[in-house]
């Protein structure tokens, strides 16, 4: 009987998720694309980083927003007002919203290593327009 009851017990872990967003402007051209996007054009991009974790610090924060914003701003400094096709890694891979979301995930992850007890990044979304976005979600 105890075993039967046990099957209905579920341990619910609490989970906090926070995110920050930054914007930048850049130009790109999609190689191999048949249509308007193969021509050089620009976007006002938006990038949102989501992080998650179970534990808050002593003052009730998952991560200081300003730390996360600083990391994102540093990365954006490398692409803002640039022609993305000239910037590594987009000089060899296409600067699609999908590849940019993955790029921001990888670079943000590296910089997060500098923050002690940093929460994990759960996803990064890059918007090319208000209606179009791509999200990169790492699978462990």
The CB-of-23 to Zn ion minimum distance in angstroms stands at: 15
Q: Which of 105, 125, 127, 104 is nearest to 44 (CA)?
A: 127
- The residue number with the shortest CB distance to Zn ion is 37
Q: Which is nearer to Zn ion, 96 or 118 (CB)?
A: 96
Q: Which is nearer to Zn ion, 37 or 115 (CB)?
A: 37
Q: Which of 89, 113, 118 is nearest to 101 (CA)?
A: 89
Q: Which is nearer to Zn ion, 98 or 107 (CB)?
A: 98
The CB-of-132 to Zn ion minimum distance in angstroms stands at: 9
Is the CA virtual torsion 116, 121, 126, 132 positive or negative? negative
Do residues 123 and 99 lie in contact, with contact meaning Cβ atoms separated by under 8 Å? no
Mark 21-40 with x for binding to Zn ion (rule: CB under 5 A) and - for no binding: ----------------x---
The CB-of-127 to Zn ion minimum distance in angstroms stands at: 11
Before 89, cis peptide (omega within 30)?
A: yes
Residues that bind Zn ion (CB under 5 A): 37
């Amino acid at each position: 009987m105890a075993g039967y009851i046990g099957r209905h017990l579920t341990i619910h872990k609490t989970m906090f998720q926070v995110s920050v967003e930054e914007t930048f402007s850049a130009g790109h051209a999609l190689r191999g694309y048949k249509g308007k996007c193969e021509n050089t054009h620009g976007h006002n991009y938006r990038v949102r980083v989501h992080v998650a974790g179970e534990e808050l610090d002593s003052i009730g924060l998952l991560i200081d927003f300003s730390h996360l914003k600083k990391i994102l701003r540093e990365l954006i400094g490398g692409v803002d007002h640039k022609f993305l096709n000239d910037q590594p890694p987009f000089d060899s891979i296409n600067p699609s919203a999908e590849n940019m979301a993955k790029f921001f995930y990888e670079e943000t992850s590296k910089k997060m290593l500098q923050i002690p007890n940093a929460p994990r990044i759960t996803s990064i979304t890059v918007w090319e327009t208000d209606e179009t976005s791509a999200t990169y979600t790492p699978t462990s």
